Structure 1
């Protein structure tokens, strides 16, 4: 028995190494091949991969359709929600493939593929001088918009989650640092971001992650539904006296992109964090309402809800949401839904 137990761990290690080898070979081959393919082929591949993922990902498709139902009510028919959800998969596939294709971009050629809309050039110039916190949601191509700003002389410090396979982590790190950025792991990320920003650097953050209610989060209204999102971008700006630069990158049918930068928000140290987080989100929600297929609808944006029975989903929230007293406590009393449960009622954390 001891002999058999000694063999199994070795077998698992060998299988893990073998899996990592094939994963690495596939990713490296993709990184070599895609920049050499015609742009039209990349777009066709994105549509095909996105459609296949939409059809194959039963759970994600269910989440996307229910998210759309809760966000828009009866504005869209079921057929229209399916079209939007499929488009969301296709745009996410394009974002993924374009990250590999982006090795073809340089400081001299990126302008061929991007149109920038900068309403106040003085805001950007101020950010260039002092540093800033740049934020966007999982909308359109959130990868390439960061890369473009690197080519324009804004070197971001970007937080990215590591893969289990460290070689794949290195590949994605190389791709994301192509225009001069510094990609860091999540461990001790806030300290590293603060150090970079104190040196007149720039931080690039995604702000629409749904996280557990706690100290590093805020309750905001997203499509009229309460959700809990990170406040790191607001806290960094408040502590260091920097501006929050908001914007989105929308993919166009011809393979190009359109970037819109919104207002530069410079919060005071005593301003309310929740209200500032809501103000940032409002810009993004407007863009999503105009182009709903560009958002990541298969993601669980409303894991926690402040209303409904303990054992059953609430009709206004997606099927996967869980009642959370912690979320209720984070909502200002004058804004709490009328059917919120009492704070002393046992519920999901």
Structure 2
């Protein structure tokens, strides 16, 4: 990965496309999950359009795999010339409140590179779920420690609140299925999705601002766009379902910028509202 990261970015994108197409052909289980998710979330598309989006999603995530090397082994400052930041004033206004900022992100294919690029413009900490592979986890954590102020474990709520109390920004994502504990079922692309209520609890206890942000890879010409949006209003509202619906709608809006760049390989709708409800994914 280190060697590949030294190649010109156009070459890396080409190799990523090849890797994505190979995965599309060979990773049957992940392709099945992606097909189900895209079929559920984009019912307005024809079968051919859905199939094309599945293929493009694998390509985008293949390129994202190559970008891990850029994020972990290269200086992201070298990419600022092809990066445009939109709405930075929204982040600065939220930080000026003095209660910290929860950066509401999502699992886009530009996940690590986008995060590294963000730290060229703001100071931030990050929450991460450790990788199952100890070597990959060590490399990932070391790389993130060079980019972020602090790398917080997914369960390190004490560290999270300490960062917010110190008026820090913390990168935080809620858009995966974490099981049945402490969730509500809020619409995500009009499908009831198990959505954690922790975002409301964190904002309620800390008084922090919740600022949506995303990062998108441009089509064709290599380049990236980072988007910051105004802090969520009336959040938390006191109604967990209303809050979770707002969070999901916000993430959905960002996904629609470039739907192929989202991590559709994840079983987002695995947990069903009722235990006896049939699953979407079969035995995959």
Normalised by the size of structure 2, how large is the TM-score? Answer: 0.88
Matched with 1:150 is: 119
Alpha-carbon distance change, 227 to 142 in structure 1, aligned in 2, over 3 angstroms: same
Matched with 1:96 is: 65
8 Å contact from structure 2 (residues 10, 222) kept in 1 = yes
Deviations 1:42-81 (CA, angstroms, capped at 9, x unpaired): 10011011111111111111111122122222x2222222
Question: How far apart, in 2, do the equivalents of 1:298 and 1:82 lie?
Answer: 14
8 Å contact from structure 2 (residues 70, 76) kept in 1 = no
- 1:295 to partner: Cα distance: 1.5
- 1:293 to partner: Cα distance: 0.9
Alpha-carbon distance change, 271 to 50 in structure 1, aligned in 2, over 3 angstroms: same
The farther-off stretch of 39-48 and 129-138 is 129-138
Alpha-carbon distance change, 56 to 192 in structure 1, aligned in 2, over 3 angstroms: same
- 1:114 to partner: Cα distance: 1.2
Alpha-carbon distance change, 295 to 162 in structure 1, aligned in 2, over 3 angstroms: closer
- 1:269 to partner: Cα distance: 6.0
Matched with 1:242 is: 208
Does residue 192 of structure 1 match 2:159? yes
Deviations 1:258-277 (CA, angstroms, capped at 9, x unpaired): 12222212555662232122
Matched with 2:14 is: 44
- 1:148 to partner: Cα distance: 2.3
Matched with 1:19 is: none
- 1:310 to partner: Cα distance: 4.1
CA RMSD of the aligned region, Å? Answer: 2.4
Alpha-carbon distance change, 262 to 64 in structure 1, aligned in 2, over 3 angstroms: same
8 Å contact from structure 1 (residues 158, 181) kept in 2 = no
Does residue 72 of structure 1 match 2:42? yes
User: What SS does the aligned partner of 1:178 have?
Assistant: helix
Matched with 1:126 is: 94
Matched with 1:168 is: 136
Question: How far apart, in 1, do the equivalents of 2:235 and 2:105 lie?
Answer: 21
Matched with 2:268 is: 301
Question: How far apart, in 1, do the equivalents of 2:33 and 2:276 lie?
Answer: 20
Deviations 1:154-208 (CA, angstroms, capped at 9, x unpaired): 121322323332x33211112223323322333x422221122112222111111
8 Å contact from structure 2 (residues 204, 236) kept in 1 = yes
- 1:40 to partner: Cα distance: 0.8
Look at both structures and tell me which one has the larger radius of gyration over its CA atoms.
Answer: 1
- 1:125 to partner: Cα distance: 3.6
Question: How far apart, in 1, do the equivalents of 2:17 and 2:225 lie?
Answer: 19
Residue 58 (structure 1) aligned to one of 19, 25, 28? 28
8 Å contact from structure 1 (residues 150, 181) kept in 2 = no
Normalised by the size of structure 1, how large is the TM-score? Answer: 0.73
- 1:290 to partner: Cα distance: 4.4
Residue 111 (structure 1) aligned to one of 80, 83, 94? 80
Question: How far apart, in 2, do the equivalents of 1:38 and 1:234 lie?
Answer: 43
8 Å contact from structure 1 (residues 241, 268) kept in 2 = no
8 Å contact from structure 2 (residues 104, 172) kept in 1 = yes
The farther-off stretch of 149-158 and 277-286 is 149-158
8 Å contact from structure 2 (residues 194, 272) kept in 1 = no
RCO comparison, higher one (Cα < 8 Å, 6+): 2
Question: How far apart, in 2, do the equivalents of 1:264 and 1:301 lie?
Answer: 25
